[in-house]
Structure 1
Amino acid sequence: MSMAAPADGGALASSPTSQVEVTEIRPTRGLLDLDLGAVWRYRELLLVLMLRDIQILYKQAILGVGWAILQPVFAVTIFTIVFGYFARMPSEGVPYPLFAFAGVLPWTYFAEAVRRSGTGLVNDAELVRKVYFPRLIMPLANVISPLLDFCIAFAILLAMMAFYGIMPSAKMLLVPPLMVVAALLALSIGLWLGPINVRFRDIKHTLPFMIQIWMYASPIVYPLSMVPENWRWAYSLNPMVGVIEGFRWAVFDKGEPNFVALGISGVMIVLLLAGGLIFFRRQERTFADVI
């Protein structure tokens, strides 16, 4: 649009227009009003929270990222001595240290992601009370940030495979999708535990015990083949069974993947995630008051 110059030849004064972004905060409308688009709009905050979690974890730590290596290495050493040497657990043709490491890696990530997402709301209570943002960002950041530890420890697994003369195959490319499945499962659990922990602080104390029991109910120190065939379908109701077995198959290229376990894991995760999103969204409106 053209504007005429002033008759006296003076400069034309123009007032700059300012754009104000308005955020509408409203209650949920219906059971399926999840407002997932808000998470994308606040994606920069998600990145900030992820980086903050990583910095807090390693700040003023003597070993720094070395803790991401020591934790699985110590666990594998103990499992190798107790279950590999004394108990003589089968390892499906793979050296037992490698077999145990391939089970410990996805489990360690999953357990840490569940722990952080289940307690993150209470740990960041001041942030929840004072600042508006989609609360779903907090469990998302808690689930994504431990992937750094997984990547560091995964490099150690590759080094161990080279030491034992086991070369990775093209199936290794399936590791990222399997870890996405593990991340979705951890997020699903966190969406249930987080709001419950806001109201009942017992979750913080019972969660480590629950995770420890779940670990021994997963095929970490023993293969799925040790479970009687008639009971494998029930055992596979544990969603981490399909993830761990699939991870070992992708890394070592031994045998065939257990599609029944993977299928059951997929169905369980979809149900838990859908229910968790609805539950989290319904409870979100009271977080600031209760926390």
Structure 2
Amino acid sequence: MRTTVINPPGRLPLPPWSELWEAREVALRFGQRDVVLRYRQTAIGVAWVLIQPLAAAGIFSLVFGSVANLPTGGIPYFLFSFISMLAWTLFSSVLGRAAPSLVANQALVAKVFFPRMLVPISTAMSALLDFAVGLALGIVLLVIYGVNPGWGVLLLPVWVLLFVLLALGIGLAASAWMVRYRDVGYILPWALQFALFATPVAYSLDAVPDNLLPVFAANPLSWLMELFRYSLLGEALPPTWQIVGAVLVSIGGFLLGAIVFQRHERSFADLI
């Protein structure tokens, strides 16, 4: 018979990594359920995954490409905006699904003992599946437009992982706060909308005026977006400090979010 030992938290509430790993099957089940429920009883199923980035790329192409005529470094604007939206959709999907996950599964959280952190973490699975479908279309567009990403494409999984880690870090903290304050659910969409335009998704940093460039360049999402486009569109590799900063911010953001989550976890069953 297996014995479960529950240790009291230390001064720094680090997540129980070993428990999370041992219960990874739970996360897999949550992820599978999320995928099934997301596309159940939909007429076009997984095609919805492609509609959002395609529609956004079309609108951005009209407004920023045709009307504003923003520079994209010689990349066709529709392709530029579609690839950018792939990265943004991955980030916003992981964050947007992780944040309300505890409240959405309140019956399980309140009655069943398991590492609660697996609930928001498992939401990344469906977001990554959506991303894979969109990436397949992105590759087709690269071929159609004749854009060769070069050897930088080999680093794409690294940038994807950093996007997911940063989104999960924020999502873990947001999910813990949402248990106590449902206001988070109202604030988050506005914050994501603001971040969309504060991040070079529909434009490149070259289009930002010099007096505002330091502000936009200080956004960690800008670093990740530039790295993502480097791998798929063959743009110039960002400076080393941005690469190092992207790695540190993503990993640090995930750890900080996990610590915030762990600090609040003991009160979930009472508050949810």
State the TM-score, normalizing by the size of structure 2: 0.95
Aligned to 2:247: 266
Alignment of 1:65-144 (within 5 A): 65-144=46-125
Alpha-carbon distance between aligned partners in 2 of 1:31 and 1:254, rounded to the nearest angstrom: 41
Alpha-carbon distance between aligned partners in 1 of 2:17 and 2:211, rounded to the nearest angstrom: 41
Shift of 1:209: 1.0
Higher relative contact order (CA 8 A, sep 6+): 2
Structure 1 gaps, min length 5:
1-19
Shift of 1:233: 4.5
Alpha-carbon distance between aligned partners in 1 of 2:236 and 2:260, rounded to the nearest angstrom: 39
Write the letter of the residue equivalent to 1:180. L
Aligned to 1:14: none
Q: Percent identity?
A: 35
How many residues align structurally?
Answer: 272
1:185 corresponds to 2:173: no
Alpha-carbon distance between aligned partners in 2 of 1:252 and 1:281, rounded to the nearest angstrom: 39
Shift of 1:276: 1.6
Shift of 1:161: 1.2
Aligned to 1:252: 233
Aligned to 1:277: 258
Alpha-carbon distance between aligned partners in 1 of 2:135 and 2:146, rounded to the nearest angstrom: 17
RMSD: 1.6
Q: 3-state DSSP class of the match of 2:189?
A: helix
Deviations 1:172-211 (A, max 9, x none): 1111110000000001101211111000101112211110
Shift of 1:144: 2.9
Write the letter of the residue equivalent to 2:108. L
Aligned to 2:270: 289
Q: 3-state DSSP class of the match of 1:145?
A: helix
Consecutive aligned runs of 4 or more in structure 1 exceeding 6 Å deviation: none
Distance 1:33 1:215, change over 3 A: closer
Aligned to 1:163: 144
Alpha-carbon distance between aligned partners in 2 of 1:21 and 1:151, rounded to the nearest angstrom: 38
Contact 1:117–1:142, Cα closer than 8 Å, also in 2: yes
Distance 1:101 1:142, change over 3 A: same
Deviations 1:119-156 (A, max 9, x none): 10111100101111111111110123200111101111
Shift of 1:239: 1.8
Contact 2:71–2:206, Cα closer than 8 Å, also in 1: no
Shift of 1:231: 5.1
